[in-house]
Amino acid sequence: MLCLGMMTGACAARQETPPSSPVEGAPAPQDDTQQEASAVATKLTCTLSGPALVRTGEPVELVFQLSNPTAKPVRVLTWHTPLEGVLNKIFDVSRDNTALEYRGPMAKRAPPTASSYITLEPGASAEGKVDAARYYDLRAPGTYRIAFRGPLMDVAQEGQPVPAPNGEYRATDVSCPTVQITITP
């Protein structure tokens, strides 16, 4: 079930849990499955692209591509990525070094189901296209910088349950290049 809280400020929160460690300052122990999943997940690659030059009032189509260059399939929760469209503030946008306000929907939803994930086979990619001008005021001429906020909310290696049990998401950082777009009158 997907509910949109269009002006209510409701949103699906990313859960961040601090690592626990028996010895202060020491890294938390991981079992072999966690280490292997983390290694595979951190190898996912991301690209974000868009037009270099756009006239005021025209769409600003961004293309987000997530790729799996590893030898194993992974399952990725599409929430908070352009793979599901724009249902939350998933980009940081600025014009001439001034941050712009997000003015799109904020999704509030039940926990994810298996259908909320996509499978990226080895060597495969998934792509999502969105018009950033629908969610940010991009009408003023100037130079805009658009960055994917990340992280990926949950990335599961083959054999790991999806959705993550008890909401224990396996968040994964993925670095996308920032897009620079110039809007002209």
* pLDDT for residue 158: 87
In a domain, 130, yes or no: yes
Pairing of strands 179-184, 53-55: parallel
Exposure string of 109-135, with b = 16+ CB inside 10 Å and e = fewer, is: beebeeebbbebeeeeebebebebbeb
* pLDDT for residue 42: 54
* pLDDT for residue 2: 39
* pLDDT for residue 39: 53
Structure tokens at 10: 């409701």
In a domain, 95, yes or no: yes
In a domain, 67, yes or no: yes
Structure tokens at 183: 């809007």
* pLDDT for residue 57: 94
In a domain, 8, yes or no: no
In a domain, 18, yes or no: no
In a domain, 102, yes or no: yes
Distance CA 165, CA 152 (A): 17
Look at the alpha carbons of 152, 157, 163, 167 in this order and tell me if their dihedral is positive or negative.
Answer: negative
Distance CA 19, CA 46 (A): 26
Distance CA 92, CA 36 (A): 31
Residue 130's domain comprises: 32-184
CATH code of 145's domain: 2.60.40.2970
In a domain, 103, yes or no: yes
In a domain, 27, yes or no: no
Distance CA 151, CA 153 (A): 6
* pLDDT for residue 22: 38
Per-residue pLDDT tens digits of the chain, which is 185 residues long: 434 333 333 344 444 434 333 334 434 444 554 554 445 445 899 999 999 999 999 999 999 999 999 999 999 999 999 999 999 999 999 998 899 999 999 999 899 999 999 999 999 999 999 999 999 999 999 999 999 999 999 999 989 999 988 889 999 999 999 999 999 99
How many folded domains does the chain comprise?
1
* pLDDT for residue 155: 96
